[in-house]
Every structure is written in structure tokens, then in C-alpha cells.
Structure 1
Amino acid sequence: MKVVKVLVLIALMIGIYAESNSDLWQHISDQNWIAAYITDNGMSGTLILVLFGALFTGCGGPRQLIAFTFGFAFGWFTGFLLCLLSTILSAMGCYWLAHLMLKSALNRYFGHRYQRFQLFVRKQPFIKVLIVRLFPVGSNLLTNLFSGAAGVPVKPFVTASLLGYIPQTLIFALAGSGLGGAHQYQLVASLFLGMISLLLTHYLYQRYKKNHSAVV
């Protein structure tokens, strides 16, 4: 089993290295280049971008950048949906990688931080993962890995991640689309949604603290 784990990790590293010279890595923040890439490659180009977005965020890249770029290139609605698909694929890939192969490594290298996460999600994992997803700061990659290693049930992990990704993904897709089409109302809408997201995060966190204090 250890040999299989090592081989899978080597294959992943080789795959990432092989793609490191791809033009997509160099131009993922260039919205005009991405728009031209889609025009030149059609549906196959769109599929490649979705998979690349999953790989990019799976390596720790900011999902907000993917949402902004996709919003500019595809329009806010299509860009929002495609980015959501990319980030969920990325989350599931990292979750299963950690669940099947990286438990001991994560515990060894992240120790106290990983153990705190385990305690945090032990009860009401859906609400806890949702709070982390909605929070404007934090590591998306570590949340995926810690959730898989800690044994967070798949259903609450996926549903909480999906719901938690929606606000920021929509905000940045709207911002990217508004920049591309010069629609000021889309930029205003993205700012308004950002405020709503922060208020919702604050409410859920205060609710968690209240319930936690009551238990203690």
C-alpha cells in the first residue's frame, strides 16, 4: 500500500511538472489571453480551462482569480458556474488524496493546527466547514486536505463547500464580467454581495461561539 501511495504521488508531481510550462500557467491572470484561447479552442478549450482551474486551485492557487478570469472570459453567469465546477473538483480531489494517503503526513507537519481543525469539525461538520468556506481569509487547500484527513463525511463536506464557495465565486465572477463589459452595476452588485457574505459569516461564527460556550 505504501508503494502505491508513493507511485501515485510521483505520478501527480510528474503531471504537475509536465504542465508547468503550459501557456495557461503563464497567462491565467491575463483575461484577454484566456478569452482568445476560448475563441480559438471552443468547447475543448473550455473543458481544458475547467480542469486547469481545478489543478490550479488544487495546488493552492486562489480560486478568486479563476472566478475573476472566467467571469471576464465567459460572462458572469457561465463563468460563475464553470469556476464553481472547477473548485468543487479541486476540493474533492484534495479531499480524497488526503483521506487515502496523507493523514499521517498532515498530522506530522501541521500537528497542532491539524488537531485543532479535527476538534472543530468533530460536531456539526456541515456548519463548521461552511463557516470556514465563507470566511474571507484562510487556506482553501488546507481546508480540503484537513477535511479529508480528519474524516469529515463526504456529503456535508461537498454541500457546505458548494454553498460556501458561492458568495466569493459570484462576487469575483461579477467583478470580472463588469470589468470586461464596463457594467458598473455588476461591480456594485459584487460589492453588495461581499457585504452580505461578511454579515452571514459573522452570524454563523457568533452562533457557533454561543453554542460552544453553552456546551462548555
Structure 2
Amino acid sequence: MTTTFITGANKSLGYETARRLIEAGHTVIVGARDAQRGAAAAEALGARFVQIDVTDDASVAAAADDITAHEGGIDVLINNAGVFGPHIPADQLTAADATTVFDVNVVGIVRVTHAFLPMLRKSAHPVIVNVSSGMGSFTLTHEAGRIEAKNLAPLYTASKAAVTMLTTQYAKSWPDVKVNAADPGYTATDFNGHSGPQTVTEGTDAIVELATIGTDGPTGTFRDRHGELGW
């Protein structure tokens, strides 16, 4: 049986990913920073909850120890936890704002992946899915008519561009692990005031697909529910 750990799984894309993977037969561990919300989500899903703050070394280490003790390891890691950052004009953004966004969206992935990689490598088929965004694509943000080209969010877009590059570098570094990035697309979530035209189910299509790839599946790719995307 495949054991999957998802960060930021108490709501929206993370929650729906957990629901769908449980339906597909995975043993899912719900990770969340807020203990009360995370435990409630896990109970509703029929999963186990593990508290994790991806910005805190001790919290991440404790989560890894907890899962090692209870499940013995994981086969799939989904780095889903993320923040959008302040909705303010670019000239008002500060270094503190950048630190907050990058600490969750990029450094958090490094922190969690570093802690969980030893467990993953014990799996016969280790998989990592990093939830990125088309808003971090140089191709899509320069393509006239695309929503990614119209929305301005300097810190979020820069952080997601970093996530995608980090994914390709990890994939090249670890040929024994499948590492891919997923773009949920413009999905109705708290990030956008639920204004996106896609449902959370549609938004998790690429995440679920990449989390369930076989041993002959891709690595180092960036895709949404329709296929591979331009960098």
C-alpha cells in the first residue's frame, strides 16, 4: 500500500488531494500547521494527522520522527503548503514580505524534502510532487491572453518559479526519485477569494496524476491537468 504525506492538507487543494488519494487506495497522512484544523480535516477524511510547520526546523524534524515511528516511512511526499503573500502594490513590498513568502513556498520545500528524503529512499518507488503554479512560468506569464500574464504578484510568482527550478534540479540530482511539479491552474481557493473557474477537483488533477505515476513515469516535469507546460 502506498503511504503519502501531504503538507498544508487541512483545506482547499491539499484536502481534496488527500480525499482523492485515499479514494485511490493510498494511506494518507494529513500535515498542517494548525493542529485543530488539521486534526478536524484528518478525522473527516479518515486519515491520520501530523502537525507540521514547514518554516520551523524542529517542527519538520518532529513530523518526520512521528511518521517514522508510526508508519515506518512514506512513498509519496506532496509539498503543497504555500502562501500568496500580501495583496499590495509592488512598490510597497518589503524584504520582510519576501522572506515570509519564500520561507514557506521555497525554503519550506527544501526543509521538508531534506527531512523526509531518507524515508522516501526506503520506498521501492519514491515520488515527490511539488505544487508550483503557472504564475511562476516565464512562458505563460508572457503569453498574451493568459490569466497568468495579467495577474501581478511579484513575490508569489518569483517563489513559484523557484519551486519549479528546484524541482528540475532535484530530479537531475536524484535519479532514484521521481520529482515533478504540478500547476493546479486558476482554481477557486482562499488564495483568490474563490474566484477561479476551476473546481478543487479539477485543480488537483495534475497533483493526483503525478502522485500516482508508475515506475516508468516522468521526472523533472512541470504540468497542469492538460499536459506539460512551458518553463
Q: Which one has a bigger Cα radius of gyration? A: 1
**After TM superposition, is the score higher than 0.5?**
no
TM-score by length of 1: 0.30
Question: Larger relative CO (CA 8 A, sep 6+): 1 or 2?
Answer: 1
| Greater per-residue strand proportion | 2
